[in-house]
Amino acid sequence: MKNVYITKTAHFLPNQPVSNDEMEKRLGMIDDQPSRARRIVLRNNGIKERYYAIDSEGKVTHNNAQLTKEAIKGLCDTDFSEKDIELLSCGTTGPDNLLPSHASMVHGLLDAESIELNSASGVCCSGMSALKYGYLSIRAGATTNAVCTGSERSSSWMQSQKYNEEIDNLKSLEETPVIGFKKDFLRWMLSDGAGAFLLESEPNGDASLRIDWMEAYSYAYELEACMYAGGEKQEDGTLKPWTDYTPKEWLNDSIFSLKQDVKVLDEHVVQKAIVSMKDAVTKNNLNVSEVDFFLPHMSSFYFEGKLNDEMVKQGLSIPKEKWFTNLEKVGNVGSASIYLMIDELRKSGRLKKGNKILVLVPESGRFSYFHILLTVC
C-alpha cells in the first residue's frame, strides 16, 4: 500500500468579507422585519466575518461549481495543471443541481482530460468523504494523484425571498408571522467558499502532509436527523421527504430551506464527537500528547468550551495553545472548513517536519464524524 501526501493546498473565498452588521442587508430581511435571532446567534457563534457569493445588490456572483473551480485553479502552477488531474473527488452540502453530480459540473468547467469523478454528499463530512476517496485511490495504486475538494454556496439559500411564500401563508394564520428559529438560526451561521487539496503518492516540496489515517463514524442508527433540507421532521423524529409534498407545500412551508434541530444538536454533537475520537486514537495507538496541532471544525465558538470539557472528561485533553481555527474570520463554510484551516496552517510558516496534526470534523446531519492524523514531511 502506498503512502498518500497532501502536496498542495488552495482556497477560494468570493468577493469581500461581510461583517456582522452587513449580513442582514446582504441576505435581506424576511417580511421587511429585522431578525429576532440574529444578534443572539452572532453573540454565541463568535464569527466576525464571512464571505458570500452574492454582491451587495443580492445578485449571485458564483455558483458552487465555480467556487470549486477557482479553488482548484489555486493548485495549478508550472509543475501541475488541470490536464494532469487523474481523479476529481468533490464534496458539498448543496450542489447546484440535483443532477448531474457536483463533480461532473466542476469537471465541465476545467481545462482537463477524461478523468475519474466522485461526488460525496452529506453536510460537513462530505468534504472528508471526498478526501478519503482520493486517499484510498492513491493508497491502492489506482491513481498517482487526486484533487479533492470541499465547497459551499449557502448564501443564496439563505436570502429572504426564499421565505416569501411561507410568510404570506403565515399571515393568513397569525397577525405577526415569524419564521421558526430552526430556519432563521442557520441564516446567521453559514458562509461560502471552497478549498482544494492535491494528493500524490510522493511528498513534493515543503510541508507535504502525509495522511497517516482517516477514521469515519456514523450514529444514525441511534440518533434522529438534526440538520436537514428538502423535507420536514415529523413528531416521531422521522423525515417526510420533499417528494411526498405538493409543489404548493414546497413554497408555503419552505420545504427546501435548511433547518436544524438545536435541542438535538446541543445534546449529542460534542459527546459523540469525543466518543468517536477516543475510538479512533485507541484504534491507531495515538497518544494525544504527541499531537502538535489540533484542528477541530466548529460551527460556532459556542461549542469550544463544551468540546474542551468533554475531551478532558474522556481523557483526551489537548492544551488550548495547540488548537487552531480560522472560524472567526472566514465563518462556518461547512464541508470546506477543514480545507481552509489546513491550507492556512500549512502556509503560516508554523509547521515543522515531524509535526503531527489531529483533525476532527463533525456533521450534525445525522451525527457523522471524521478523525484524521497528518504528519508534516
What pLDDT was estimated at residue 181? 66
pLDDT-derived band at 32 (thresholds 50, 70, 90) equals confident
On whether the CB atoms of residues 131 and 197 are closer than 8 A, the answer is yes
What pLDDT was estimated at residue 222? 97
Q: Which amino acid is at 23?
A: M
Per-position DSSP letters for 155-187, written without gaps between them:
GGGG-GGGGHHHHHHHHTT-SS----HHHHHHH
User: Per residue in 92-127, pLDDT tens?
Assistant: 999 999 999 999 999 999 999 999 999 999 999 999
Parallel, antiparallel or unpaired: strands 87-92 and 116-120: parallel
Centre a 10 Å sphere on the Cβ of residue 74 and count the other Cβ atoms it contains: 17
Of 268, 113, 130, the closest CA to residue 196 belongs to 130
User: Per residue in 159-181, pLDDT tens?
Assistant: 988 887 777 776 665 655 556 66
- What's the rounded Cα separation, in Å, for the pair 183 and 83? 42
Element (H, E) at 209: strand 209-218
The residues facing 375 across adjacent strands are 210, 356
What pLDDT was estimated at residue 182? 66
First to last CA, the chain: 18
Q: Which amino acid is at 138?
A: I
At residue 323, the 3 state secondary structure works out as: strand
What pLDDT was estimated at residue 185? 83
Half-sphere exposure of 271 (CA within 13 A, CB side): 7
- What's the rounded Cα separation, in Å, for the pair 35 and 37? 5
Tell me the average pLDDT across 195-202.
98
- What's the rounded Cα separation, in Å, for the pair 154 and 344? 22
What pLDDT was estimated at residue 177? 56
What pLDDT was estimated at residue 65? 98
- What's the rounded Cα separation, in Å, for the pair 293 and 325? 10
What pLDDT was estimated at residue 175? 53
At residue 267, the 3 state secondary structure works out as: helix
- What's the rounded Cα separation, in Å, for the pair 2 and 340? 26
Cβ burial, residue 224 (10 Å; 0-12/13-18/19+): middle
- Contacts with 236 (C-beta within 8 Å, 6 or more apart), sequence order: none
On whether the CB atoms of residues 183 and 258 are closer than 8 A, the answer is yes
Of 31, 34, 24, the closest CA to residue 170 belongs to 31
Mean pLDDT, the chain, integer: 94
Q: What is the DSSP letter of 348?
A: T
On whether the CB atoms of residues 310 and 346 are closer than 8 A, the answer is no
- Contacts with 302 (C-beta within 8 Å, 6 or more apart), sequence order: 44, 45, 46
- What's the rounded Cα separation, in Å, for the pair 11 and 2? 27
User: Per residue in 48-105, pLDDT tens?
Assistant: 999 999 998 989 999 999 999 999 999 999 999 999 999 999 999 999 999 999 999 9
On whether the CB atoms of residues 4 and 199 are closer than 8 A, the answer is yes
- Contacts with 73 (C-beta within 8 Å, 6 or more apart), sequence order: 10, 12, 82
User: Per residue in 344-368, pLDDT tens?
Assistant: 999 999 999 999 999 999 999 999 9
User: Per residue in 237-257, pLDDT tens?
Assistant: 999 999 999 999 998 888 999
Buried b (16+ CB within 10 A) or exposed e, 51-61: bbbbeeebeeb
Tell me the average pLDDT across 312-330.
98
Q: Which residue has the cell 445525522?
A: 366
Q: Which domains does the chain have, with CATH numbers?
A: 5-211 (3.40.47.10), 212-221+257-376 (3.40.47.10)
User: Per residue in 4-26, pLDDT tens?
Assistant: 999 999 999 999 999 999 999 99
- What's the rounded Cα separation, in Å, for the pair 67 and 102? 12
Q: Which amino acid is at 4?
A: V
